[in-house]
Structure 1
Amino acid sequence: MTCHEIEALRLGLMNVLGTEDRSAREHAKTELEGHLDGPIEALAEAETLAGIERHLDAALVELEEEIAAADADDDEYDYLRGRLVAVRDAERAVGRLTGQGEDVLAGLGEAHDLLHEAFPVEDEA
């Protein structure tokens, strides 16, 4: 058993962050072998945080459907529910990462405006 959503998320974040760790990429790809389709594939290939959020949400929907269809007495049922908790936690972490990035962007805009207020640029006419 493996947590396809988490491994795909790792690959997507490596894409977004420009991570070149071949070992980590190969490990994740090995874990996902035979499962790279639908939202998992899209998540693994995501190149933006917005794409990651969108594809992670779709992967969560599929996981929830898998849990709903599973027999509660099945040995795998508890693992599936644990996977759901882990993926929802990862979803919140990605949301925090996006929020922090937006805060940094807003702060840079404010710093830029402050510099122009402190050191006005004369219009070139």
Structure 2
Amino acid sequence: MSCYEIEALRLGLMNVLGTEDRSAREHAETELEGHLDGPIEALADAETLSEVQRHLDSALVDLEAEIAAADPDDPAYDYKRGRLVAVRDAERAVHRLTDQGESLLDGLGEAHHVLHEAFPVDE
């Protein structure tokens, strides 16, 4: 079994961050062979953090539906539930990353404003 959501998230974040690690990309692509459709494919192809968040949310909805439909006596049931915990944790990490990025942008904007207050530019 594989955690398709996590591997797709890794690919999406590699796209967003411009990561050139070919072996990590190839590993994730191998794990996803035959499973690149719907939100998983969209997540793997995401190019912005907002796309990553949107497609990860969709993948979580699908995973929750899969678990709801699963037989609790199925040997894979506990793994699927564990997968859900891991993906929800990853979702929180992506939200933190987005919040930190937005905070960085706000800080740079404030620094720019303070710089112009301290050293006015005549136009």
TM-score by length of 1: 0.98
Q: Per-residue deviation at 1:61?
A: 0.2
RMSD, aligned α-carbons: 0.3
Alignment of 1:32 with 2:69, yes or no, is no
1:111 matched to which residue of 2? 111
Once superposed, which parts of structure 1, at least 4 consecutive aligned residues long, lie more than 3 Å away?
none
What TM-score comes out, normalization by structure 2 length?
A: 0.99
Unaligned runs of 5+ in 2: none
Q: What letter corresponds to residue 27 of structure 1 in structure 2?
A: H
**Letter in structure 2 aligned against 1:44:** A
- The residue number in structure 2 matching 1:76 is 76
Distance in 1 (CA, whole Å) between partners of 2:16 and 2:36 is: 18
User: 1:48 aligns to what?
Assistant: 48
Q: Distance in 1 between matches of 2:120 and 2:19?
A: 39
Query: What's the secondary structure of 2:47's corresponding residue?
Result: coil
| Local SS of the residue matching 1:2 | coil
The number of aligned residues is 123
**Identity fraction in percent:** 80
Q: CA deviation at 1:122?
A: 1.1
Q: CA deviation at 1:6?
A: 0.1
Does the residue aligned with 2:122 lie in a helix, a strand or coil?
coil
Unaligned residue ranges in structure 1 (runs of 5+): none
Report the AA paired with residue 74 of structure 1. D
